[in-house]
Amino acid sequence: MPLPALLFEVFTLFPEVFEPYLQSSILQRAHQRGLVEINLYNIRDWTSDRHHITDDEPYGGGGGMVMKPEPIFAAVEGVLGWPPACPVILLTPQGRTFTQSVARELAFGDDTSVPDQTRRLALLCGRYEGVDERVRQHLASDQISIGDYVLTGGELAALVVIDATARWIPGVLGDPDGVLDDSHASGLLEYPHYTRPAEFRGWSVPEILLSGDHGRIARWRREQSLLRTWQRRPDLLETAPLSKLDRKFLDQLKTSFISDEPEGSSEATGSDEPAQPPGTS
Ligand code: 6GU
């Protein structure tokens, strides 16, 4: 088996929660192809007391328990050596926000060149109300949050990071261009997708998609992406790379109310989203 392109070393108190997801289709296939490897380590295995204690009361009082530093340092040092042989990413609501471009950065390093060797990343999952601050200060080299809400632990966040990062590795997706077409890869939301049947419960696929005119289809999709992004995530338009034609289309949107229905028929999508210029609701 060749070296994997991406190797995750995951440190957690709940390794069992990872297995069912990692054994599901796409990540399982990536693993079978030798592209992505995930090692799970139970931090509890590095405790040295009789009761295998991993948490303790906070100094200074107050509610909740704090993860003790010793087993975490021992686990990471035992696996990665000292200083750690790869980046150690602490999953915490206090981290920088995870985005598609952070996923790409994790997959390829700071540049976007094709990796020529294994990229190894350690993920450290916090639990309970917190982790002893010395882990953050002296062990973690990076801290990531997956959004502005609080989870009971970093495990789900680690799975999100693994999934979104692995998708960037060539060969992980069936379609080599998949990751480039995604919502957010272009900086815009995706255009609407349809498959057979052409009519379902009286709802038709937009006529243009059946036309075979690839130039017009490409332009329609681009405009649908722009329309959706303008309606739902106008903040993305500030940073998305836009052509002159895109800007002209957006200018037209801003000066006219147009509906969210794809071209053709208002019955076509059964859309429940009326046109809504940003900032008016
Ligand atoms: Cl990484 N951890 C926890 N506990 N909650 C989160 C999170 C991480 N990202 C968003 N919420």
* Parts of the chain with a pLDDT under 70: 1, 111-116, 128, 257-281
Regarding the beta carbon of 129 and ligand 1, being less than 6 Å apart is answered no
Which atom of ligand 1 is least distant from the CA of 91?
Answer: 1
Assigned domain for 40 exists: yes
Ligand 1 center to residue 56 CA distance, Å? Answer: 20
In this structure, the answer to whether residues 28 and 155 fall within a common structural domain is: yes
In this structure, the answer to whether residues 192 and 85 fall within a common structural domain is: no
Domain containing residue 170: 6-178
Q: Please give the tally of structural domains in the chain.
A: 2
Regarding the beta carbon of 154 and ligand 1, being less than 6 Å apart is answered yes
In this structure, the answer to whether residues 19 and 149 fall within a common structural domain is: yes
Q: Which residues pair with 10 in a beta bridge?
A: 40, 123
In this structure, the answer to whether residues 106 and 206 fall within a common structural domain is: no
Assigned domain for 107 exists: yes
End residue of a domain, out of 129, 145, 178: 178
Regarding the beta carbon of 145 and ligand 1, being less than 6 Å apart is answered yes
In this structure, the answer to whether residues 174 and 190 fall within a common structural domain is: no
Regarding the beta carbon of 93 and ligand 1, being less than 6 Å apart is answered yes
Which atom of ligand 1 is least distant from the CA of 95?
Answer: 1
Q: pTM to 2 decimals?
A: 0.87
In this structure, the answer to whether residues 169 and 208 fall within a common structural domain is: no
Assigned domain for 165 exists: yes
In this structure, the answer to whether residues 232 and 98 fall within a common structural domain is: no
What are the C-alpha distances in Å from 50 to residues 11, 74, 127? 21, 16, 21
Which atom of ligand 1 is least distant from the CA of 154?
Answer: 2
In this structure, the answer to whether residues 143 and 191 fall within a common structural domain is: no
Establish whether 148 is a catalytic residue. no
Assigned domain for 272 exists: no
In this structure, the answer to whether residues 109 and 126 fall within a common structural domain is: yes
Establish whether 260 is a catalytic residue. no
What is the predicted pLDDT for the residue at 265?
Answer: 42
End residue of a domain, out of 147, 178, 209: 178
**Distance (Å, whole) CA 156 – CA 275:** 35
Assigned domain for 260 exists: no
Q: Around Cβ 25, how many Cβ atoms within 10 Å? A: 7
Establish whether 234 is a catalytic residue. no
In this structure, the answer to whether residues 27 and 162 fall within a common structural domain is: yes
Assigned domain for 261 exists: no
Report whether the peptide linkage leading into residue 83 is cis, meaning its omega lies within 30 degrees of zero.
Answer: yes
Which atom of ligand 1 is least distant from the CA of 158?
Answer: 1
Query: What would the pLDDT profile of 59-94 be if each residue is shown by its tens digit?
Result: 999 989 999 999 999 999 999 999 999 999 999 999
Query: What would the pLDDT profile of 96-131 be if each residue is shown by its tens digit?
Result: 999 999 999 999 987 555 556 799 999 999 986 799
Q: Active site residue: 37, 70, 105, 182, which one?
A: 182
End residue of a domain, out of 159, 178, 197: 178
What are the C-alpha distances in Å from 179 to residues 3, 70, 217? 22, 40, 20
Report whether the peptide linkage leading into residue 71 is cis, meaning its omega lies within 30 degrees of zero.
Answer: no
Assigned domain for 133 exists: yes
Question: Domain of 42: which CATH number?
Answer: 3.40.1280.10
Q: What are phi and psi of 67, to 5 degrees?
A: -70, 130
What is the predicted pLDDT for the residue at 175?
Answer: 77
Regarding the beta carbon of 12 and ligand 1, being less than 6 Å apart is answered no
Establish whether 182 is a catalytic residue. yes
